[in-house]
């Protein structure tokens, strides 16, 4: 088995994201020392990663996997498509993990599955098949419509593939839907798309702003797993955590269960920067940054100390620690000038 990070840089990366990517690689090497971790990127992004000192931390870097990626046929609405493109080309078995997630469990837990993943999500913020545009000539099959209806989406931040047939069908279905598709909402009430819901202090829409891509990737995975579980008696699929995300917080499949114990279980398994990036990249949310920064800096000190790897990674850590501190000072100065 191999483990992969896949990322093509299209916007500026914050020092917060760089630190989490560094921590993710260190944690992987501590917990899975016999499983190489490899970065998949394009040649332009490789040079950026090199300048960020995030190339040599990997066991290997592959830069030609996206040489034939169809940039001109994929809408920005489907921004996770490079990862799915990489999945289509990688030989099983392998795990692929988002660069903004620190995974703290041994990957060997997945080895008895054909397909493994982190957790499920409720479908309340997802559009349904006929609420997203399709390419010319595309038509949903009735069996897939059924499986969409009875399944729950799968969070794709951590994925494990050990079945070539399943992997091939997923990636083919994904690109059949995505190629030459604008990813626009159709046949959907306008009120569901307006920013009129406050979730964890953020004003957002009822249907997720990233609905096109999470439908194509995560809802598609959920439906396809349901298909295989229903028609293939030996197909084995499993999730790491017996929880479901409802777009605001996590529940066990019984919502009455103790949420504190759920958070403890999550903390032991992974850290995901995903939600925090809203505050990092939004100038109006600077009040949230000190807490995020303190947590990342402190956890990095502990990680490098416990892993006895200050000599190897300490310089990179100090670089991004200083960049975060400087960004906080800059934000405070800007805030003072507006008062």
Asked if pLDDT for residue 200 goes beyond 90, the answer is no
Crossing angle (nearest 10°) for helices 142-150 and 220-231? 100
Provide the pairing of β-strand 101-103 with 60-62: unpaired
Which stretch of DSSP H or E encloses residue 202? Answer: strand 202-205
- Number of domains forming the structure of the chain: 1
d(CA 69, CA 189): 34
Structural domain span for residue 237: 2-201+208-275
Please report whether residue 212 resides in a domain: yes
Count of Cβ atoms closer than 10 Å to residue 36 Cβ: 15
Please report whether residue 307 resides in a domain: no
Please report whether residue 213 resides in a domain: yes
pLDDT digits (tens, 9 = 90+) for 91-113: 999 999 999 999 999 999 999 99
pLDDT digits (tens, 9 = 90+) for 208-265: 888 999 999 999 999 999 999 999 889 999 999 888 988 778 877 655 455 557 788 8
Please report whether residue 239 resides in a domain: yes
Residue 19, domain CATH: 3.90.550
d(CA 192, CA 199): 14
3-state class (DSSP) for residue 97: strand
10 Å CB burial of residue 19 (0-12, 13-18, 19+) is buried
Please report whether residue 298 resides in a domain: no
Please report whether residue 78 resides in a domain: yes
Average pLDDT over residues 141-159: 96
Is the pTM higher than 0.75? The answer reads: yes
Please report whether residue 221 resides in a domain: yes
Please report whether residue 338 resides in a domain: no
């Amino acid at each position: 088995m191999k483990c992969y990070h896949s990322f093509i840089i299209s916007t500026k990366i914050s020092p917060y994201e760089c630190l989490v990517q560094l921590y993710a690689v260190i944690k992987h090497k501590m917990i899975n020392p016999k499983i190489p971790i490899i970065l998949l990127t394009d040649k332009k992004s490789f040079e950026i990663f090199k300048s960020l000192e995030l190339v040599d931390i990997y066991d290997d870097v592959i830069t030609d996997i996206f040489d034939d990626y169809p940039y001109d046929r994929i809408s920005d609405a489907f921004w996770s498509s490079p990862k799915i493109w990489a999945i289509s080309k990688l030989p099983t078995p392998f795990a692929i993990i988002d660069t903004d997630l620190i995974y703290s469990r041994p990957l060997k837990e997945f080895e008895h599955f054909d397909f493994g993943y982190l957790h499920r999500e409720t479908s309340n913020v997802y559009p349904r098949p006929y609420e997203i545009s399709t390419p010319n000539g595309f038509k949903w099959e009735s069996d897939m419509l059924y499986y969409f209806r009875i399944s729950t989406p799968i969070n794709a931040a951590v994925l494990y593939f050990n079945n070539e047939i399943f992997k091939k069908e997923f990636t083919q279905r994904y690109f059949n839907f995505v190629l030459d598709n604008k990813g626009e909402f159709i046949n959907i009430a306008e009120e569901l798309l307006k920013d009129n819901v406050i979730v964890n202090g953020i004003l957002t829409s009822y249907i997720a702003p990233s609905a096109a891509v999470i439908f194509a990737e995560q809802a598609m995975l959920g439906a396809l797993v349901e298909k295989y579980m229903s028609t293939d008696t030996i197909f084995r699929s499993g999730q790491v955590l017996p929880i479901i995300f409802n777009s605001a917080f996590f529940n066990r499949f019984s919502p009455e269960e103790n949420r504190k114990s759920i958070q403890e279980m999550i903390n032991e398994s992974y850290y995901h920067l995903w939600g925090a990036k809203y505050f990092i990249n939004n100038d109006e949310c600077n009040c949230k940054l000190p807490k995020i920064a303190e947590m990342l800096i402190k956890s990095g000190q502990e990680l490098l100390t416990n892993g006895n790897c200050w000599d190897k990674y300490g310089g990179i850590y100090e670089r991004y620690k200083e960049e975060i501190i400087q960004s906080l000072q800059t934000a405070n100065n800007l805030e003072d000038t507006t008062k």
